[in-house]
């Protein structure tokens, strides 16, 4: 599939049109979506354009997330050699920012990334995350969260082995532990920094007061939250706070778990176990309304002579110069399209117009199930 996909990209046919061309083969690829009409031939280059800074950490304008490389949306298991090829091809296309976590797999995605970047480890920035109550040796999930200092340090030792490295460039707390003061978490990370095992740190989906306290205890390099045209919640408090404090922002799920690519429509039936099937925004009654956003993306793709997937990425990059999206994929052709999103430029008037159009579409349905949402926006307990 890699050679076929690449040939279609070179001919300017976007990924959704490719699925339409392949006909019956697309039916078996439910999670990849159904075909869409071809748009104007993309004219942007398939290479990362420029670099950005998250705090003092310089990275490529677009990164690569590897969460699905061990198990795609908790369903099928991708072919590992192909995942290694994608990671290395991403580097060849200018990507120097790679994102993983101990929870992805669990542990397995760190192994995949470690193998993938081994030939050029010293030329890239890698991130990982701690915070779940995972056995660092076996990967067994236990109940709840765990950001106790001794657990953090054990987790990092395992990360270093799996990632085949002597340091983690950016280490995030994956979710705030409501039992551990953030000052204690920062203290553990500070110890790891003094040992040279961690270079920078950040937080994911934290409460705003916790972010401020964390930054006061140990300067935070980046925050990672869900943010896209589909979910704009961080614009209210988190992004303004990042601007105030000089913290970079890394949107996870910048393509709305494939929704903004056109891969999900009213005919989509998620595979058994696909985590997206539990998201209220993708219920049949909400999806009909929310697809207006995809139609908007396609109109702008035609206008900008780009692939639809590149519009949401260009939109994110236009919001702030310190925002760096990390789209993930298990398909070579998709990775090539994603990195090309950094070459799509939105002028001030275009951004104003697009922002207004996006705002006019009120997304129906929560972004995640209630049980998962309860883990976001959590404030760490006070330091006694």
List residues bridging with 203 in a β-sheet.
Answer: 173, 223
- Tell me if 266 sits within 8 A of 288, measured CB to CB: yes
Give catalytic status of residue 227 as yes or no.
no
Q: Using alpha carbons, select from 326, 262, 368, 266 the residue that is nearest to residue 37.
A: 262
C-alpha distances out from residue 325 to 7, 127, 224, 304, Å: 26, 13, 9, 20
Residue 296, CB half-sphere, CA atoms under 13 Å: how many? 21
- The two three-digit tokens of residue 215, written as one number: 């930054």
Please state, as a whole number, how many other Cβ atoms lie within 10 Å of the Cβ of residue 8.
Answer: 17
Please state, as a whole number, how many other Cβ atoms lie within 10 Å of the Cβ of residue 383.
Answer: 12
- Tell me if 341 sits within 8 A of 313, measured CB to CB: yes
- Tell me if 378 sits within 8 A of 83, measured CB to CB: no
C-alpha distances out from residue 197 to 157, 318, 339, Å: 9, 33, 29
Question: Which is catalytic among the residues 8, 79, 91, 104?
Answer: 104
Residues with a catalytic annotation lie at 104
């Amino acid at each position: 599939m890699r050679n076929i996909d690449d040939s279609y990209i070179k001919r300017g046919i976007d990924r959704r049109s490719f699925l339409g061309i392949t006909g019956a083969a697309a039916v078996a690829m439910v999670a990849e979506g159904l075909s869409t009409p071809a748009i104007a031939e993309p004219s942007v280059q398939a290479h990362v354009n420029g670099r950005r800074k998250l705090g003092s950490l310089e990275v490529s304008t677009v990164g690569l997330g590897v969460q699905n490389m061990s198990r795609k949306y908790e369903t099928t298991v991708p072919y590992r050699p192909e995942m290694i090829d994608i990671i290395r091809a991403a580097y060849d296309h200018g990507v120097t920012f790679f994102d993983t976590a101990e929870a992805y797999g669990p542990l397995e995605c760190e192994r995949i990334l470690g193998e993938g970047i081994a030939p050029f480890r010293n030329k890239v920035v890698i991130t990982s995350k701690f915070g779940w109550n995972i056995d660092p040796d076996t990967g067994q999930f236990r109940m709840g969260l765990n950001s106790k200092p001794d657990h953090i340090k054990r987790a990092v030792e395992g990360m270093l082995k799996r990632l085949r490295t002597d340091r983690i460039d950016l280490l995030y707390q994956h979710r705030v532990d409501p039992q551990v003061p953030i000052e204690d978490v920062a203290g553990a990370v500070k110890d790891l920094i003094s040992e040279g095992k961690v270079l920078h740190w950040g937080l994911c989906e934290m409460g705003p007061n916790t972010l401020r306290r964390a930054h006061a205890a140990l300067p935070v390099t980046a925050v990672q939250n869900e943010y896209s045209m589909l979910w704009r919640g961080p614009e209210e408090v988190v992004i303004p706070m990042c601007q105030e404090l000089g913290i970079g922002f890394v949107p996870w799920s910048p393509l709305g778990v494939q929704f903004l690519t056109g891969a999900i429509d009213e005919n989509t039936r998620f595979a058994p176990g696909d985590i997206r099937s539990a998201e209220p925004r993708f219920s049949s009654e909400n999806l009909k309304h929310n697809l207006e956003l995809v139609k908007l993306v396609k109109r702008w793709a035609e206008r900008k002579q780009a692939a639809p997937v590149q519009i949401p990425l260009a939109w994110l990059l236009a919001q702030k110069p310190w925002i760096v999206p990390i789209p993930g994929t298990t398909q070579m052709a998709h990775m090539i399209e994603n990195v090309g999103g950094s070459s799509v430029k939105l002028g001030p008037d275009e951004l104003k117009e697009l922002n207004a159009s996006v705002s006019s579409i009120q997304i129906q349905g929560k972004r995640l199930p209630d049980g998962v949402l309860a883990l976001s926006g959590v404030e760490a307990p006070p330091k006694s």
